[in-house]
Amino acid sequence: MGGREATMVLLDENGIRCDGRKIDETRKITIKAGVLKNADGSAYIEFGDNKILVGIFGPRDVHPKHMSDTDTGILRVRYHMEPFSVTERKRPAPSRREIEISKVIKEALEPAVMLEKFPRTAVDVFIEVLQADGGTRCAALAAASVALADAGIPMRDMVAACASGKVADTIVLDVNNEEDQAGQADMPVGYMPNLEKITLLQLDGVLTPEEYKKCVDVGVNGCKLVYEIQKKALTDKYFGNGKD
Amino acid sequence: MENKRKYVIPGDLVTTGPFRPEQNVILEGKKIISTSIGISEIYDDSVRVIPLTGKYIPKIDDLVIGKVLSHTSLSWELDINSCYVGFLPAQDVFGRDFSAHADELSSKLKTGDLVAARIANFDRTRDPLITISDRDLGKIDSGSLVKISPSKVPRLIGKRGSMIQMIEQATNAAVTIGQNGWVVISCESPEGLLKAKKAIQMVNEKAHVANLTDQVKEMLESKGES
């Protein structure tokens, strides 16, 4: 991605970003719940050009048995990118990055999911990234949360997720692939909107303390926008058009 | 009695105030929050959410329909459409004087047999213990198995059994509903069986529709004339 940033304007003088968004605008997000028949719960998200499918199984028996916990259920997450999800073929074996993202998504979902209700069982979350365009971990987390709700797994709250970052010395919401490559910082935020708690916070880049605070705030606000879309996805599936 | 029905998703505030949290709700400070997708109901002093999705979680005294998975010399294991397997001890079937040498378990129940059973005991430390020593319980010899979503069982039964009574009367079938979402229909006439099956599947698919009882009734009657 070397000398590309020299030719690309990330933020013009009117505050418009390289893909025509304002600084506090997310990409177009659509979520659909219950798209798979054989999984216990599922969701499909389009987050800008990201396309991600999530399937849930469980609660079910743990195999291998030694992994099970007599006190609580366990959550297992697999985040996987399809070979065709990026411009150059990605080898299908789990990479270091995918293992990390599986772990952070698992830890971001754990505070919300009430696993203690199902001792000795496992809930499996399978995330398949069909097309990636920056910010897949947030999109995957948001979709996983919808799929868990669709599977009927008790949750204290939904988990919404959105990234914020620093591009051309400005804090912006929802960085896309170009901004991620050429920008100065990227901060994915996972947030439980009703409990007002952050479950995922990572930062790649350098921010001053003031910028950091602003970046978290912007990210949380983005999560609230994503939450409305998650809510709509579930309402559409379960309550049809008949509102209340 | 019931009031304030609301559609909720996990994390939604159901109500605040001095209510007793029951099914699928948690108390978070003073707020009562839903933990699943469903319809919230506030009774006199308690709040609950009727879930619209989810697996079957065994509850003591539930009638379930199980399928024999395997047996050891002392007990059977039953698939009860849950995350746990049902545990049926041999004494329950053979009586107190059961002996592991003399009695052969497969003479009573074989792998694949369907059984109507009751959850005798269940806690979080052990697999659910089930029993078939009661009236109307035991091996199911004939009938057709229909699988529906466990969360839609209350809808199939209806208020005070109205829905299922209507289906039974219209088709002349005997329907055994397991709380785990497995339903066995037995009927003398094949048409009745098919019709009952169709009605049950219709309830499964359209559980959220308001005037479902009328729609099912219409379907049952229309097929009867043709």
Ordered by where they begin, the domains of chain A are 19-239 (3.30.230.70)
Query: What's the CATH code of the domain at B29?
Result: 2.40.50.100
Contact A114 B35 (CB under 8 A): yes
pLDDT mean across residues, chain A = 92
Contact A152 B33 (CB under 8 A): no
Kindly state whether residue B87 falls inside one of the protein's structural domains.
yes
For B50-80, how does the pLDDT look when each residue is reduced to its tens digit (9 = 90+)? 888 889 999 999 999 999 999 888 899 999 9
* Judgement on whether residues B124 and B150 belong to the same structural domain of the protein: no
* Judgement on whether residues B34 and B69 belong to the same structural domain of the protein: no
* Judgement on whether residues B23 and B72 belong to the same structural domain of the protein: no
* Judgement on whether residues B107 and B39 belong to the same structural domain of the protein: no
Residue A169: pLDDT above 80?
yes
* Judgement on whether residues B96 and B134 belong to the same structural domain of the protein: yes
**Given B121, B140, B159, which residue is the final one in a domain?**
B140
Q: Which chain B residue has its CA at the smallest distance from A122's CA?
A: B83
Burial profile A165-203: b = 16 or more Cβ within 10 angstroms, e = fewer: bbbbebbbbbbbbbbbebbbbbbbbbbbbbbeebbbbbb
For B153-174, how does the pLDDT look when each residue is reduced to its tens digit (9 = 90+)? 988 988 888 889 999 998 889 9
Residue A34: pLDDT above 60?
yes
Single pTM value for the model: 0.90
What's the domain range around B205?
144-225
Kindly state whether residue B56 falls inside one of the protein's structural domains.
no
- Residue B99 — very low, low, confident or very high, per pLDDT cuts 50/70/90? confident
Kindly state whether residue B122 falls inside one of the protein's structural domains.
yes
* Judgement on whether residues B135 and B152 belong to the same structural domain of the protein: no
Burial class (CB in 10 A: 0-12, 13-18, 19+), B169: exposed
Which residues in chain B touch residue A150, judged by CB atoms under 8 angstroms apart? 37, 53
**Given B140, B173, B196, which residue is the final one in a domain?**
B140
Kindly state whether residue B57 falls inside one of the protein's structural domains.
no
**Given B79, B106, B140, which residue is the final one in a domain?**
B140
Q: What is the DSSP string of B130-195?
A: EE--STT-EEE-S-EEEE--GGGHHHHH-GGGHHHHHHHHHHT-EEEE-TTSEEEEE-SSHHHHHH
Which residue in the set A59, A193, A243 is minimally distant from B83, CB to CB? A59
* Judgement on whether residues B125 and B172 belong to the same structural domain of the protein: no
Kindly state whether residue B114 falls inside one of the protein's structural domains.
yes
Reduce the DSSP state of residue B65 to 3 states and report it: strand
* Judgement on whether residues B154 and B125 belong to the same structural domain of the protein: no
Which residues in chain A touch residue B208, judged by CB atoms under 8 angstroms apart? 238-240, 242
Looking at chain A, list the stretches that DSSP marks H as alpha helix, in order from N- to C-terminal side. 96-109, 136-150, 177-182, 209-239
Left if phi > 0, otherwise alpha if psi is -120 to 50, otherwise beta: which for B44? alpha
Listed in sequence order, the residues at least 6 apart from A2 whose beta carbon sits closer than 8 Å to its beta carbon are none
The predicted model gives A136-143 an average pLDDT of 96
Distance CA A130, CA A146 (A): 18
Contact at 8 Å (CB) between B152 and B181?
yes
